[in-house]
Structure 1
Amino acid sequence: MSVVGVIVEYNPFHNGHALHLAEAKRLAAAEGVIAVMSGDFLQRGEPALVSKWARAEMALHAGADLVLELPVAYAAQPAEWFAYGAAALLDATGIVSHLCFGSEAGTLAELQPLARQLAGESGALKAAIAEELATGASYPAAYAAAAARCGAAPAGGDPGAAAAAAKALLEQPNNSLGLHYLIALQRLGSRITPLTVRREGAGYHDAKPGDADIASATAIRGLIAGEGGLKAAAPYIPPFTAEILAREFRAGRGPVTWESFAAPLFHQLLTSSPAKLAEHHEVTEGLEHRIKKMLPGLQQLTVNELLMKLKTKRYTYTKLQRMLLHILLQHQRSALSPQELAIGPGYIRVLGFSSKGRAMLRQMKTRCPLPIVTRAASLTHPRLDLDIRAAAAYANAMPIRNSSEVFREYRQPPITI
């Protein structure tokens, strides 16, 4: 059976995602689809609009057969480790034949050679990144420049021109993330065949929808938060997404935003010493002192105000969001070190499946080297413990708080449709 893997967040699932899913199936001639999906917190360090269970349901309605959770240890990370964790999960299933991702390039012709070179040059790459960071560049910009320097000089070619072309390529967010998927497959020694689909229509960061029926998730969330609400977002999302969102909102399970976590976050920031803050993952380069310095000058004590005060050319909004998230969730630096993350996820958590997905799960049980978890209470694992704690923190920030949601992880079976 040909099975295509996709790595997603679906915050929320929209028309552009539907196009990607259809094209992934077509390119891979796939008989089944496995989606590795971030849980309640996302790669850019922000909470999802609605829970992972609601978004898994969207994925199943859209045509995914099996939805697996990307552990929060990998989900809320820079691209390198986000990609590594997700690719490692797909590889561990033992049944995924292809990985299909979106990119601005729409081809592997330039990305794949870069990935082959960079996968084996981690030391040189890290040194080059450090040099770029020393100039005051943000991490994404530093990575793009360093990757171009380390991996884009073909024999007999003009190294300067090649590096400039590679840098321009990697400054586009989906190309950059795609490169990390390719590097992860190389480092894992995976037999999965990569495929890419050109990203059409709205850009990843576009804050406003265009004229067509495709808008970025960022733009859609903006419409939902505005006066028009779900009705304004309706042209850009499938009916099942609109129905699931409406149901979740009516039940008080959304929308969830960073401001939903303002009280517990500021409690941590105000009561922790700089030394205590510095123990958390991604609190680097003295940021603990910058946080403590900024707190007395805040007028409204909102998360957005704090982020805007902390933001500099060096520290991007995304980097700072992830840092605050790790403080909120009490993620210790030692638990998420490169050495720990390189070990891999350690288990496969199933969020949902179709009837075909059920058959795929049976096949996985004969090929997968990791425990397959359908109920959180069935496994004790430090990474799964982080997921359970993250889900409880997320549920505690919902518009209507109740114990059944806070402790849902222990009783919720996979979603089926």
Structure 2
Amino acid sequence: MKTVGLVVEYNPFHNGHLLHLRRSLEISGAEASIAVMSGPFTQRGEPALLSKRARAEMALAAGVDLVLELPILYAMQPAEWFAFGAVSLLDATGVADSVCFGSESGEIAPLALLASRMEGGETPAMREALRQALAAGLSFPAAYAKAASEQGGGDSAAAAALLGNPNDTLGLHYVLALRRLASTMTPLAVRREQAGYHDAGLPAGGSIASATAVRAAIARGESGLNEAAAYLPASSLRVLRREAEAGRMLPSGWEALAQPLFAALITRAPEELALVPEAAEGLEHRIAAALPRLPEPGVEALLAAIKTKRYTRTRLQRLLAHALLNHRGPTFGRDSLARGPQYLRVLGFSPKGRRLLKTMKKTAKLPVVVRAADFPHPQLALDVQASAVHASAFPSPDIREMYADYYAPPIAEF
């Protein structure tokens, strides 16, 4: 059964995701799909609107066949390691023929050309070029685009323009990961349409909006959810309404976790904060100095106080999430990340997905995990902890929801 792999967050699953799924199946000629999905925290370091189970349910209802969790070790990482972790999982299934991602350009050829110049990923030379660009005052996205575009010559201006797009940058790293793994999967791209990655408003008269805009509408309550309905599949809207009524939603995002976050930051000396992933170049001192000067103990206020051109909001949010979850040490270092994910965690499946799982018993390069309790592993323990912290911030927290990894089986769509 020809299968296409997708790397997703579905925060929440909206009409743009549905279009991407359908076009991915179309251009790949696949009969089935596997989605590798971030868990309770996204690549930008934000707590997801809903639990990973609710988002997996949305995906399955919309036509995805198998949903696997991207371990948090990779889910909250810069593009290089986020892409490497996701592509490693798809490759490890042994059943994915291609990986299809959304991009602003919708083209693979320029990404493949640039990837060929960056063989081996982010080389020491590129990291030095990145350091120099940052020292010159460029923002991180602009500095990264400049450093990457200079690798190996060619039209650096065109490459820099291409990498000014967030999804094309991720696409480059998907292609790099495929080369690094010597994977036989084919990279494919679907052009993003109608709504940009950062578009904050719901477009009038349309049916596709960014996830940012959909979440912003939902944060306004019932009226906002009604406004967002036109941009969501009916199945996603049903799940959203159910989860909201049950008190299992975080419409306020980071602010729902402000209290435990501030407790984690206040009780650590700067030397301890320096051990948290993404903390470097004195960021720990910047945070410690900002805390007593805040107008209020809010996450937005803290981010505003510590953000600079060099320290992007995304990087700072990931740092805060790592601090909240007590992440530290060599576990999040390059040597550890280079070893790749150590399991395939199943969140849900359709009837086709069940057939894929049956095939994966013979083809998978990693253990297929259906119940967390059956697979004690340090990487998986981090996933369980992150889900418990995320669910503890729900308006109506429940211990079985916090530890659903132990109690709940994968979601099965029939």
| 1:220 paired residue among 195, 198, 214 | 214
| 1:336 paired residue among 319, 332, 341 | 332
Equivalence for 2:316: 320
| 2:395 paired residue among 378, 383, 399 | 399
Equivalence for 1:135: 136
Residue 249 (structure 1) aligned with residue 244 (structure 2): yes
C-alpha separation between the residues in 1 aligned to 2:302 and 2:334? 28
Is contact 1:35-1:68 (8 Å) kept?
yes
What's the secondary structure of 1:351's corresponding residue? strand
What's the secondary structure of 2:248's corresponding residue? coil
Q: For each residue in 1:300-338, what CA deviation from the matched residue of structure 2 results, as whole angstroms up to 9, or x when unmatched?
A: 100011001111111111110000000000110421001
Is contact 1:41-1:76 (8 Å) kept?
yes
Select between 126-135 and 91-100 the one with higher mean Cα deviation: 126-135
What's the secondary structure of 1:365's corresponding residue? helix
Is contact 1:8-1:37 (8 Å) kept?
yes
Equivalence for 1:158: none
Structure 1 stretches of at least 4 aligned residues deviating more than 6 Å after TM superposition:
none
Unpaired runs of at least 5, structure 2: none
Q: For each residue in 1:387-417, what CA deviation from the matched residue of structure 2 results, as whole angstroms up to 9, or x when unmatched?
A: 0110110111111112111222111111011
Select between 406-415 and 257-266 the one with higher mean Cα deviation: 406-415
C-alpha separation between the residues in 2 aligned to 1:5 and 1:242? 25
Taking the TM superposition and a 5 Å limit, the aligned residue runs for 1:88-237 are 88-120=88-120, 122-151=123-152, 153-154=153-154, 162-211=155-204, 212-226=206-220, 228-237=223-232
Amino acid in the other structure paired with 2:86: A
C-alpha separation between the residues in 1 aligned to 2:220 and 2:53? 24
Residue 300 (structure 1) aligned with residue 301 (structure 2): no
Taking the TM superposition and a 5 Å limit, the aligned residue runs for 1:270-309 are 270-309=266-305
Unpaired runs of at least 5, structure 1: 155-161
Amino acid in the other structure paired with 2:127: K
Is contact 2:400-2:407 (8 Å) kept?
no
Is contact 2:140-2:309 (8 Å) kept?
no
Select between 378-387 and 253-262 the one with higher mean Cα deviation: 253-262
C-alpha separation between the residues in 2 aligned to 1:17 and 1:363? 27
What's the secondary structure of 1:119's corresponding residue? coil
C-alpha separation between the residues in 1 aligned to 2:268 and 2:57? 38
Select between 37-46 and 202-211 the one with higher mean Cα deviation: 202-211
Residue 81 (structure 1) aligned with residue 76 (structure 2): no
C-alpha separation between the residues in 2 aligned to 1:196 and 1:302? 39
TM-score (norm 1): 0.96
TM-score (norm 2): 0.97
Select between 66-75 and 254-263 the one with higher mean Cα deviation: 254-263
Is contact 2:276-2:329 (8 Å) kept?
yes
Is contact 1:67-1:351 (8 Å) kept?
yes
Is contact 2:202-2:228 (8 Å) kept?
no
Equivalence for 1:159: none
Q: For each residue in 1:214-235, what CA deviation from the matched residue of structure 2 results, as whole angstroms up to 9, or x when unmatched?
A: 1000001111112522101001
C-alpha separation between the residues in 2 aligned to 1:244 and 1:114? 41
What's the secondary structure of 2:188's corresponding residue? strand
Q: For each residue in 1:154-176, what CA deviation from the matched residue of structure 2 results, as whole angstroms up to 9, or x when unmatched?
A: 3xxxxxxx111110110011111
C-alpha separation between the residues in 1 aligned to 2:227 and 2:372? 37
C-alpha separation between the residues in 1 aligned to 2:30 and 2:330? 40
Q: For each residue in 1:186-243, what CA deviation from the matched residue of structure 2 results, as whole angstroms up to 9, or x when unmatched?
A: 1111000011011111000000122311100000111111252210100100111110
Amino acid in the other structure paired with 1:358: R
Equivalence for 1:260: 256
Q: For each residue in 1:120-167, what CA deviation from the matched residue of structure 2 results, as whole angstroms up to 9, or x when unmatched?
A: 36222222212212223333222111011114x23xxxxxxx111110
Equivalence for 2:386: 390
Amino acid in the other structure paired with 1:372: V
Alignment coverage as a number of residue pairs: 409
Amino acid in the other structure paired with 2:331: A
| Alpha-carbon shift at residue 294 of structure 1 (Å) | 0.5
Is contact 2:199-2:212 (8 Å) kept?
yes
When the two chains are superposed, the root-mean-square deviation of aligned CA atoms in Å is: 1.1
Is contact 1:282-1:333 (8 Å) kept?
no
C-alpha separation between the residues in 2 aligned to 1:338 and 1:142? 21
C-alpha separation between the residues in 1 aligned to 2:267 and 2:352? 50
